Amino acid sequence: MTYKNKILQTTNKYFLENSKKTKRKTYNMKNKIKSLKQQAKIAQGILDKKVYTGPWSVQIDLTNKCNNDCIACWCHSPLLGDKAMKPEIKKKFLTYETVIKLIDDLDELGVKDIYFTGGGEPFMHPRIFDIMKHIKSKAIHLDMSTNFTLINEKIADQLIELHVDHMNLSLWSATPKTYAKQHPNKNKNTFRRMEEMIEYINKRKKEKKLLKPELGMYNVITIHNYEEVNKMIDFAFKHRMHDIDFTPVDTVPDRTGILKLNKKHRKIITDKINAMPKQIEALEKTYNHKLEFRNHHSFLRRMQNPDADSANYDSDILDSLPSCYAGWTFARVLATGEVNSCLKSFKIPVGNIYEQSFKDIWFGKKQRCFRKHTIDYDKNNPYFDNIGNDRSIKKQGCYKCCDNLGFNLLVHEKISKLNPVKKQLLKIGRVI
């Protein structure tokens, strides 16, 4: 099986499982039909190069404020120096009223999935619980990325009560020592306390016979933790986590570049990951627990990309894709109110929700321009010079690390397999 197919299989599985579980436990029949219609409208829009509905998934940066200074962070790492997020931007957060209006607009546009990320730490937002409550009242799937350090027993109980669906915990470590090394303003006890909180959530879910929130362990892999990947798997099993994810550190040259993995590190890690199925099989028996290894194949492929020495992880696979579909499936709203078409397009915002409604932005000229460039995807078009996290590099492009890749591949697979009957069904699905 090719890497592309393996990535597809994993993403497909994740996508289907998520929708299956969500359907089973949260959605009623009406929502199931709404989901199918949303899929049909998105697919038909791609085929017609038009837009009939909103995106599938939207990421919201509730705030840029953060209580951590993780060593690799694009915004708050102490290594960034003059490339760190500017202090006036670090203070930005979306007002409660703005987020509520945004959620209402997204619901009207049929959005199925909201993901909190940053910018900063979602739990630094003063009204996060009211916002989560509003999202769950619309039966929208709610997931997030969090550093987890602000979670205490009371907050954990609220997360269970609110039926938050999933949380990605940015731990980046399996031991207190490695955690402290990568989080300069935290210490070994922070890690131990987080372990206690994971166990507390497990205990409360068990008492209440609930499965959510599912907890995922998210690991950005750097020179500080690459040797710990097996221990990370042990950790995830020990704490009965739902899933684990590894991603190579995306660096800012001349700043966090010192954290990137060299050829030797990548070889060691590739060998470790290749040998992992045995470890996982044994742990499944010991703990009587299944762990979802997300993006397993995508991580391996990234480790072996011919251009990985320059921290360009996705050049090989992007060249095999004729289109990028993010303009139909995805949007991100930053803490400043700016709207981005993909996870790497912050240099070309398509609007600001403080000035226009999300709906107007989504159907507006700049988003149309993004779609026009991405559907007939010529990666050498100067338009793509604006893609990338590093503000100082002009011609970075999509090759470095496309964080929308998994979903793009899945959409591509589905679109290219459509036969005439399915195409006809899509047309019907779009108009009913």
Contacts to ligand SF4 by CB under 6 A: 66, 68-70, 73, 75-76, 118, 120-121, 147, 170, 318, 324, 326, 342, 344-345, 374, 387, 398, 402, 404
Q: How far is the CB of 430 from ligand SAM (least distance, A)?
A: 34
Residue 120 or 429 having the CB closest to ligand SF4: 120
- Strand 338-340 relative to strand 351-352, pairing: antiparallel
Burial (CB < 10 A; 0-12, 13-18, 19+), residue 63, is buried
293 binds ligand SAM (CB under 6 A): no
Cα 401 to Cα 207: distance, rounded to the nearest angstrom? 41
Give the shortest CB-399-to-ligand SF4 separation in angstroms.
9
DSSP, collapsed to helix, strand or coil, labels residue 86 as coil
Q: Which does 117 bind (CB under 5 to 8 A by kind): ligand SAM, ligand SF4, none?
A: ligand SAM
Tell me which of 22, 147, 182, 396 binds ligand SAM, using CB under 6 A.
Answer: 147
Q: Which residues pair with 106 in a beta bridge?
A: none
220 near ligand SAM, judged by CB under 6 A: yes
The answer to whether the Cα torsion of 321, 324, 326, 328 is positive or negative is negative
Q: What are 270-274's contacts with CB under 8 Å, separation 24+?
A: 270/300, 270/303, 270/304, 272/229, 272/230, 273/229, 273/246, 273/299, 273/300, 273/303, 274/300
Site string for ligand SAM, 100-139 (x = CB under 6 A): -----------------xx--x------------------
3-state secondary structure of 8: helix
Q: Which does 340 bind (CB under 5 to 8 A by kind): ligand SF4, ligand SAM, none?
A: none
| Residue 374: closest CA among 347, 408, 416 | 408
Minimum distance of ligand SAM from residue 383's CB (angstroms): 24
Nearer to ligand SAM, 106 or 124 (CB): 124
Dihedral (CA of 17, 123, 209, 189) sign: positive
What does the radius of gyration of the chain's CA atoms come to, in whole angstroms? Answer: 21
The 224-263 site mask, x for binding ligand SAM (CB under 6 A), equals -----------------------x-xx-------------
Task: Give me the residues that bind ligand SAM (CB under 6 A), please.
Answer: 66, 72-74, 117-118, 121, 145-147, 168, 170, 218, 220, 247, 249-250
